[in-house]
Structure 1
Amino acid sequence: MGKVTLLFAGKSYDTDVQSVRENQIVIFDGPYNMRQRMVVAGIAHTQSGYNYRLIDPETAEEHTADLIRPLRDKFGIGHYYDDEHPEFMDAAEVAALRTRADALKAEQEAARRAAAEDAERLRTIGAERLRQIVPDDAVAVIIGEQHESECDPYTDYFGSRIVRTVILGFSTHTRDLFPEMRKAAARFEGTAHLAERNGEYEHREKYSMGHGYYLGTHRYSGWQVSKESCRDKEGIIKRFAVVAGNSDNVCIENPAPVQTTAPETVADARVEIVEYSEKSIAVFGDTKPLRDTLRDLNGLFRAYLTHDGTRCAGWIFSKRREQEVRSALAAYLK
């Protein structure tokens, strides 16, 4: 009933036989040469055999194991004990360690409950927000994700974790189009630099273990812009409700009409309109107070443009919209 066979190790073990005693030190051999010392802080016998409560003496983090093998049988990842020279921790120290572990476990559980409650609150707020702004025919979301590298070249591990997600727009199709992603990238300060048409930002990794199509300067760090397909509007709401619970994570186009009268707060803003190419014009200067107006005019923000021989930020427009742009910005022209 409690027999475990490890095929690659060529060994069988009876988990109904107790292998270690309380207060005994065991070693966990993990991946990438990770080795962790733990002490046996409790032993229980169940229908499937013995189960061991293990605690890390340094962190007080708790683990469990149902198989602890002798060190002489070491093969692969697993828990081991020294059967020739067993090592034990003082019983009083183990008792104190149990108290620390119980307190840490309670603290972690409280944090998990608080996080779950906060996520549910955000989910409710975000679902209502998305229900109002997601088009009825939307089937995909363009998002920006901030990646934090977890690469470790010494162990040959490469990866990252996502520390923030923002919604940049919605789409009525599921095709991966970089122009669409670039336009969406311009709506958020963190991804604005990816709005520049630069082949080095375009990544096509639709293969096994690839990251799909995305805009980014680095695979494992910084901001990336990509498109995520969802079934329909309700699918989008379900998938991104928690993200949208924070209004700072929703950076979509403002559908309000173009503002042609200068509000008092931007009365001092001064901009310059120049011919940027045969088919485009650019707006340079103090554009930050006017970003909503420029965005409503279907402008494309680019962090790196060239003006008067220097690199600077600006807004690009089709030359066909020049008159409309000049009319809307008439009060701010230099």
Structure 2
Amino acid sequence: MVKYYSLFGGTTTDTEIQVAKENQIVISEGPGAMRDRLVIYKVEHDANGYMYHLVNLETKAIRRTDILRPYSRKFGIGMYYTDAPAEFMDAFEAAALVAEAEQKAKDEADAKARAKAEHDRIAAIGAERLRRIMPDNVQGVILAELNITEYTDPSYECRETRRVRTVILGFSTTSRKGFGELRKAAANLPETAYLAEYNKDYELRYSGFTLGKSPSYGWSIHKMTHYTREGFIDALAYIAGDENNIRLSSPKPERTPEQEQGQTTVQGDFILVNYSEKAIALFGDTKPIKDALSDLGGRFNGRLTYRGEKCAGWIFPKAKEMQVRELIGMAG
């Protein structure tokens, strides 16, 4: 026998006393205006008292409880049996509802079992893949994560952040955290390549050395530490089960023969390259013509990347290419 005391309601529930019967309607009061109707389909008694088995009339979800209070004395969140007068469901309808609920519960359990088996299969593939490529002395794994934040109520006061994808960008042999290592790994994924360029605004120290616009939405990069090698493998096995989620080197963009021919042009002390789809970059001894380059709309950047190394140079829109070529004597 168990007794429950409610300080707020000023009531006592003795589970040794049966307060409701089979087929009787129960009201479940939740927060706010949440209210569900259930029916008792079985009442059991054991050494702890009475246990009531219920099924939700709307969702067909099966529940059980040993605490039922009269609805006429409702005082807050809880389960209440209808009284004054008591409300009952037809026994045949209740039996049909229970059969439907039990089949639904079985189908859900089978679906969960199949999902777990598939999860385990993919994780086993990922674990084997990681054991082949992860260094023995690994102390950190650099991850890129794509998060989205959604508001969960019409008032926009409550929101939920959900992780959509995780990509393994690299392994580290030190547990020390720093933004340089994250920026280098960012180039391995096209979606995060823009983070490879230094930008202090993307250094999110308050969230534990995270690189990105925000850890709550969009892509961000951080370093996972404090695991053993097997710990890393266990934690990342399912992610690694999809080989697209492992990007350990920078992708080489496909280019047409015409693009390859004009990708890099050398003239005297100048090197002109196609820096991106929308920009060109000029490297070399540009100091004597810096004013002219600026007049053309160029922007000097001391941390551009050329052949894998940081290099100072000028960035221009692709539309300015012919004017830049004329200035440095490459036209024609």
Provide structure 1 residue ranges, at least 5 long, that are not aligned to the other structure.
207-211, 288-307, 324-334
**2:238 maps to which residue?**
242
- Offset from partner CA, 1:304-326 (integer Å, 9 cap, x none): xxxx8699xxx952578499xxx
Native 8 Å contact 2:126 2:240 kept in 1: yes
User: 2:130 is aligned with what amino acid?
Assistant: L
Distance of 2:199 and 2:54 partners within structure 1? 53
Provide structure 2 residue ranges, at least 5 long, that are not aligned to the other structure.
279-295, 312-332
Structure with bigger RCO (C-alpha 8 Å, 6+ apart) = 1
Alignment of 1:23-38 (within 5 A): 23-31=23-31, 33-38=33-38
Native 8 Å contact 2:29 2:78 kept in 1: yes
Native 8 Å contact 2:304 2:310 kept in 1: no
- RMSD over aligned Cα atoms: 3.8
Runs of 4+ in 1 over 6 A off after TM superposition: 308-311
- Offset from partner CA, 1:48-91 (integer Å, 9 cap, x none): 22222222222222222221222354445322233334333333
User: 2:275 is aligned with what amino acid?
Assistant: F
Native 8 Å contact 1:272 1:285 kept in 2: no
**1:291 maps to which residue?**
none
Distance of 1:196 and 1:320 partners within structure 2? 12
Task: Give the superposition deviation at 1:16.
Answer: 2.1
Provide the TM-score with structure 1 as the length reference.
0.70
Change beyond 3 A, Cα 1:322–1:181? closer
Alignment of 1:36-185 (within 5 A): 36-153=36-153, 154=155, 156-185=157-186
Larger Rg: 2
Aligned identity (percent) is: 38
Distance of 2:297 and 2:31 partners within structure 1? 53
Distance of 1:199 and 1:32 partners within structure 2? 44
Native 8 Å contact 2:197 2:304 kept in 1: no
Native 8 Å contact 2:24 2:82 kept in 1: no
Distance of 1:9 and 1:173 partners within structure 2? 57
SS of equivalent to 1:161: strand
SS of equivalent to 1:16: coil
SS of equivalent to 2:144: strand
Task: Give the superposition deviation at 1:108.
Answer: 1.0
**2:263 maps to which residue?**
272
Alignment of 1:175-324 (within 5 A): 175-205=176-206, 212-253=208-249, 267=257, 269-270=259-260, 272-273=263-264, 283-285=274-276, 316-318=304-306, 321=309
Provide the TM-score with structure 2 as the length reference.
0.71
Task: Give the superposition deviation at 1:117.
Answer: 1.0
Native 8 Å contact 2:55 2:63 kept in 1: yes
SS of equivalent to 1:187: coil
User: 2:176 is aligned with what amino acid?
Assistant: R
Task: Give the superposition deviation at 1:14.
Answer: 0.9
